[in-house]
Structure 1
Amino acid sequence: MNTASPTVTLSDDQRDCYQELTNVAMGQAADRLARLLGEYVVLPIPRVNLIESSDLRMALEGYGEDSSVSAVCQGFIGSGIAGEALLVFNDTSFKDLARLTRREQDLTHNGQLELLMDVSSLLIGACIQGIGEQLEVHFNQGHPVVLGQHCNVRDILKAGNELWTKTLAIEIHYTMESVNVDCDLLLLFTEDSVLRLNQKIDYLLD
């Protein structure tokens, strides 16, 4: 006899707790980015939702169908919790990123790729580490993978993971006040991981 899998749900209190944990983690990541670029990073409230894998496009609805973007994906796992971090850059950000990191002379295809990987590593690493520290989970991170360069969001999502039925999506939108730097970081946890995460969240809420 097969036992039905527990239904994955998210209460308002759990959602608020995820937002608070992410606020702390993304603040740490933004601080590192600000130190690297010498610019103030604007941080909105992170969005936390349970979504179907087919609805990931909605999480990136700020990018139009014809917007040119580049994206990096990096997996992570620890204590039975697994997921992927997806960082999507608006390609208009590269010029200012290159100027702020003094790489204007190296804005070739490979130069942009190196810049994309450097910033992705910084933001993803700091955010995952920040969340892990608060949950007392050590996450091991896989090698970053470039899902696409100078393409549209539709192509990025085709290259991503479509095997999950439902995922916990935490969306963080990073912008800067005086320069054109614009990117989205999505933390996508597997359906099985959400059950373990919710247990840890419930412990913090008690």
Structure 2
Amino acid sequence: MSSVLNISEDQRDCLQEITNVAMGQAGDRLARLLDTFVVLSIPHIEVMAPSDIAMALHSIDKNDSVSGVCQGFIGGGISGEAMLIFNDTSFTDLAQLMKYDDALDEQAERELLMDTTNVLFGACLRGIAEQIDMEFSYGPPMVLGQHMRLKEIFDQNNSRWSHALVTEINYQLEGYNVNCDLLIVMTDNSLDIVLKKLDYLIQ
């Protein structure tokens, strides 16, 4: 599918390295916040249509109930969204790690989602922006849905793009049942600039 936008292997490798650094910084911040070891997957990078994203998530069972948050970003001709998809079995352990003692109702789960999102999105997007010498402005984070199937989350997130460059990485907390996928989605209108940035770094 990458032929849609003619991404070379060198460009893919470069973006993977940038993402590795940025998402590693985000994982380190989360590890410090929760005082536990964070296990990261290798970034998976693909060009895909919105309808393909749910099917592309490798580490979440398609039948599992999930909750998700997204946050838009824009700057220097690049725009996109960061998305965090949580397996719903994560909430009990996440509440324990964050020392959240109140009843774990839907509002409490939303707060846990937002707290985790703020840590991961902030560090990750800043890390990417710094490496490609750009500054992003951010929209407010929004809950995509709670206790839904993956397909339902993405079906209702009516995207405004036909194809996008999607980078996915999975975070797990060692010794805890916490599993989430962080996606960085850069829209088709941004990709000329993204690829030029990558070419400059490759040289």
The TM-score normalised by the length of structure 1 is 0.93
> Does residue 60 in structure 1 map to residue 57 in structure 2?
yes
SS in 1 for 2:60: coil
Which of 1 and 2 has greater Rg? 1
Q: Which moved more, 1:147-156 or 1:158-167?
A: 158-167
Residue 36 of structure 1 is matched in structure 2 by: 33
Structure 1: give runs of 5+ residues left out of the alignment. 1-6
Q: CA deviation at 1:61?
A: 4.4
Q: CA deviation at 1:205?
A: 0.6
How far does the alpha carbon of each residue in 1:123-177 deviate from its partner, in whole angstroms, 9 at most, with x for none?
A: 1111000000001110111011111011110110012243311100000100122
> Does residue 166 in structure 1 map to residue 163 in structure 2?
yes
> Does residue 181 in structure 1 map to residue 178 in structure 2?
yes
How far does the alpha carbon of each residue in 1:62-111 deviate from its partner, in whole angstroms, 9 at most, with x for none?
A: 33343111000110000010000111000111101100111033422111
SS in 2 for 1:82: strand
Q: Which moved more, 1:148-157 or 1:105-114?
A: 105-114
Residue number among 16, 20, 24 corresponding to 1:23 in the alignment: 20
d(CA) in 1 for partners of 2:35 and 2:56? 29
Between the two proteins, what is the percent identity of the paired residues? Answer: 50
> Does residue 157 in structure 1 map to residue 154 in structure 2?
yes
Residue 197 of structure 1 is matched in structure 2 by: 194
Residue number among 135, 149, 166 corresponding to 2:132 in the alignment: 135
Indicate conservation of the 8 Å contact 2:51/2:154, yes or no. no
Structure 2: give runs of 5+ residues left out of the alignment. none
